[in-house]
A and B are shown apart, each in its own frame.
Chain A
Amino acid sequence: MTRLLDLGISRISNIIMDMATLSVRSVDRAIEAYEKESGSKDQIFEWSEQLRVLQDEVTELAVELIARYQPVATDLRFIKSCMEISYGFSRFGRYAYDIMDILGTMGPLSHCDKNPVLDMANTAREMIHLSIKALQTQDKDAAKKLYEMDDTVDALYRKYLREIITPTNKKEMKNMITDPRCYLSTLLILRYLERISDHACYIGDSVHYIVTGASSPRR
Chain B
Amino acid sequence: MINYQKGSIAAVTSEEYANSSVDYKLSSAQAYARGYKVSIRNLNSWFGVKQALKNINFDVKENTITSMIGPSGCGKTTLIRCLNRMNEMTPGAAVKGSVYLDDVDIYANGIDPVTIKRRIGMVFQKPNPFPTMSIYDNVAAGLKLNGIRDKKLINEIVEESLRGAALWDEVKGELGKPGSSISGGQQQRLCIARALAMQPEVLLMDEPTSALDPIASAKIEELLNDLKKDLTIIIVTHNMQQAARVSDYTAFMYLGEMVEYGPTKQIFENPQKELTERYISGKFG
Contacts and interface: CB of A to CB of B under 8 A. Distances in A.
A73 B241 contact: no
A3 interface: yes
A62 to B, nearest CB: 15
B116 interface: no
B280 interface: yes
A202 to B, nearest CB: 15
B277 interface: yes
Nearest to A71: B281
Given A70-B241, A72-B240, A215-B2, A77 B270 contact: yes
Is chain B's interface secondary structure helix, strand, loop, or mixed overall? Answer: helix
A130 to B, nearest CB: 24
15 contacts: A5-B281, A5-B282, A70-B241, A72-B244, A72-B281, A73-B269, A73-B271, A73-B281, A74-B277, A75-B281, A77-B269, A77-B270, A214-B1, A214-B270, A215-B2
Given A3-B282, A72-B244, A73-B280, A213 B270 contact: yes
B283 interface: yes
Contacts of A5: 281-282
Nearest to A209: B270
Give 5 closest A-B pairs by Cβ, nearest first: A213-B270, A72-B268, A73-B277, A72-B280, A215-B2
Interface in A56-111: 70-77
A176 B1 CA distance: 48
A143 to B, nearest CB: 14
Choose among A3, A73, A76, A215 the residue with the greatest number of B CB atoms under 10 Å from its CB.
Answer: A73
Contacts of A75: 281
Contacts of B282: 3, 5
A157 B281 CA distance: 45
Interface residues of A, number: 15
Given A3-B282, A3-B283, A71-B281, A76 B268 contact: yes
Contacts of A212: 270
A82 to B, nearest CB: 15
Contacts of B281: 3, 5, 71-75
Nearest to B240: A72
Interface of A: 3, 5, 70-77, 212-215, 217
A112 B281 CA distance: 57
A73 B270 contact: yes
B70 to A, nearest CB: 15
Interface in B229-258: 240-241, 244
Nearest to A213: B270
A111 to B, nearest CB: 50
A5 B281 CA distance: 9
B240 to A, nearest CB: 7
Choose among B1, B270, B271 the residue with the greatest number of A CB atoms under 10 Å from its CB.
Answer: B270
B284 to A, nearest CB: 11
Contacts of B270: 73, 77, 212-214
Choose among B241, B269, B271 the residue with the greatest number of A CB atoms under 10 Å from its CB.
Answer: B269
A217 B1 CA distance: 7
B2 A73 contact: no
A214 B2 contact: yes
Interface in B258-272: 266, 268-271
B271 to A, nearest CB: 5
B6 to A, nearest CB: 10
A199 to B, nearest CB: 21
A149 B271 CA distance: 31
A65 to B, nearest CB: 13
Interface string B11-23: 0000000000000
Nearest to B282: A3
B265 to A, nearest CB: 10
Contacts of B1: 214
Nearest to B2: A215
A212 B269 CA distance: 10
Contacts of A3: 281-283
Interface string B90-115: 00000000000000000000000000
A65 B102 CA distance: 43
Contacts of B240: 72
A77 B280 CA distance: 13
Interface string B273-285: 0001100111100
Choose among B266, B271, B281 the residue with the greatest number of A CB atoms under 10 Å from its CB.
Answer: B281
Contacts of A72: 240, 244, 268-269, 280-281
